[in-house]
Amino acid sequence: MRHANPGFPTGPAAVLVATLVLAAVATAVWGLSWWSFGVVLGGQIITLAWLVVDMKATDRDAKNVPLPSPDQRQKRRRLVAQLHDVRDAAGALPDAVVLLDARGNVRWFNAAATRLLGLRERHPEGSLTRRLAGSELGTWLQTDMAESATDMPAPADPSLRLSVTLMPFGAHLRLLLARDISTLSRLEQVRRDFVANVSHELRTPLTVIHGYLELLDPTDVPELAPVLGEMRMQSQRMRQIVEDLLTLSRLETREALPDEEVAMVPLLETLRREAEALSRGRHGITVEASSRARLRGSIHHLHSAFSNLVSNAVRYTPSGGEIVIGWRQTADGEAVFSVRDSGLGISAEHLVRLTERFYRVSSSRSRESGGTGLGLSIVKHVLNLHQSRLVIESEPGRGSTFSCVMEASRVLPPENDGSSRAEASPD
Ligand code: ADP
């Protein structure tokens, strides 16, 4: 690199000195003559031209690479040090960090990415998807590209489980983060097994106790009649809790449910009859179906989820209230099964937690109504397994609407409809 020189340039100076010496020699030999005058003039023209060229070059260099001031040099050193710190910190993270460019090629990765994803420095250039081809993560990158995926095997070591997040940033860049959740995943498995085993173990003794209680006739011991009634009710509640826990455990371990054609029109009628039976004339119950579309899914599980919502509407709506069971299609091809009631309603702070196990707005109200606190949790799981979602809208004192928004690929045209069946996506 060329630096600006504040002193007189050495080249032109040498020419000037040489010119003067030559002129002195010429004067000494020939006296003051045209020769000595010519030497001095020629030398000065060369010196001047050199100086102009040198100044221009110096000026150009100075413009291109300005000399940093001591302050700027210190700032630059600080920035470089910070950059190294950030890179070292990202390099030392236990999570795999991979920086991808707009075409999905790997720009940079840390040591954990080698351990968890198997990325190595020696790898040839290429997109991350190609490098991870054949692994579940590679397939996810190729097809889903959803923002995050939980619990998938690590490409470098399938015994490890990963939670992966893909974040866009900057100009079309993306950051892939993969966290080792093996311990968490194992604990979750232990919890699931524990709940399933306990529920299973409790099932038989509870059935026996309930059976004996049913055999006892309250008229034989009239003074114990109220106690007996309470015991029967509580043992029935315990059995229901155990059954719901077992249902949840089974749903949690399922990757997919059977794909059957569910005719919604007769199912809506069945749900209405069930609601009537539960309500025993206390509510006005109607069906509003603007669509005759069918569903692709598990008849048993969808029926159980929908009837859970209907039963909640009956249980949490005071006598004289209205319940509307709805079925419609949306403009973007989804279909919505809904249950609207004019009941107690739920305040906003409870809504987000409503599908948690045993979460109740009011435990006394739930217990009185014979609830287990597991119904909505089951509904959410069933819908997840149908790639669909539960939407809850409610206002205290005015009622609630629980909507099952069924994914478009799950919606089938009515049976006698001539048009071709809706595209079904693979599970
Ligand atoms: P539970 O068996 O207690 O009814 P769920 O999981 O079905 O359990 O519902 C969780 C809680 O949500 C209930 O305890 C109740 O407080 C509230 N809830 C559910 N459905 C309704 C509804 N239609 N109206 C008002 N509150 C409701």
Q: What is the total residue count of the chain?
A: 427
What does 223-291 look like in DSSP terms, one character per residue? GGHHHHHHHHHHHHHHHHHHHHHHHHHHHHH-S----EEE-HHHHHHHHHHHHHHHHTTSSEEEEEES-
Measured in Å, residue 122 CA sits from the centre of ligand 1 at 57
* Residue 313 Cα: closest atom of ligand 1: 23
12-180 is a CATH 3.30.450.20 domain: yes
What are the pLDDT digits (tens) for 278-293? 999 999 999 999 999 9
Tell the residue nearest (CA) to atom 3 of ligand 1.
Answer: 373
To which H or E segment does residue 152 belong? strand 148-154
User: Mean pLDDT throughout 219-246?
Assistant: 91
Q: Which two tokens stand for residue 247?
A: 């249902």
* Residue 360 Cα: closest atom of ligand 1: 14
Q: Which residues line ligand 1 (CB under 6 A)?
A: 312-313, 316, 341, 343-344, 346, 354, 360-362, 366, 371-377, 400
CA atoms of 350 and 339, how far apart (whole Å):
18
Whether the domain at 12-180 and the domain at 184-252 fall into the same CATH topology: no
What are the pLDDT digits (tens) for 305-331? 999 999 999 999 999 999 999 999 999
Measured in Å, residue 402 CA sits from the centre of ligand 1 at 11
CA atoms of 376 and 374, how far apart (whole Å):
6
- Res. 188: pLDDT tops 70: yes
User: Mean pLDDT throughout 256-264?
Assistant: 95
Tell the residue nearest (CA) to atom 21 of ligand 1.
Answer: 312
CA atoms of 126 and 288, how far apart (whole Å):
55
176: β partners: 98, 166
The sign of the dihedral angle between the CA atoms of 187, 192, 193, 199 is positive
Measured in Å, residue 366 CA sits from the centre of ligand 1 at 7
pTM over 0.75: no
* Residue 363 Cα: closest atom of ligand 1: 14
16-25, 349-358, 368-377: lowest mean pLDDT where? 16-25
Q: Which two tokens stand for residue 64?
A: 């291109």
CA atoms of 293 and 290, how far apart (whole Å):
9
Phi and psi at residue 165, in whole multiples of 5°? -130, 140
Measured in Å, residue 360 CA sits from the centre of ligand 1 at 6
* Residue 372 Cα: closest atom of ligand 1: 2
**CA nearest to 12, candidates 58, 75, 61, 80:** 58
Q: What's the CATH fold of domain 260-424?
A: Heat Shock Protein 90 (3.30.565)
CA atoms of 95 and 115, how far apart (whole Å):
10
Question: Candidates 2.60.40.3670, 3.90.230.10, 2.40.160.10, 1.10.287.130; correct CATH number of 184-252?
Answer: 1.10.287.130
Q: Are 149 and 163 in contact (CB under 8 A)?
A: yes
What are the sequence ranges of the domains in the chain?
12-180, 184-252, 260-424
pLDDT given at position 3: 45
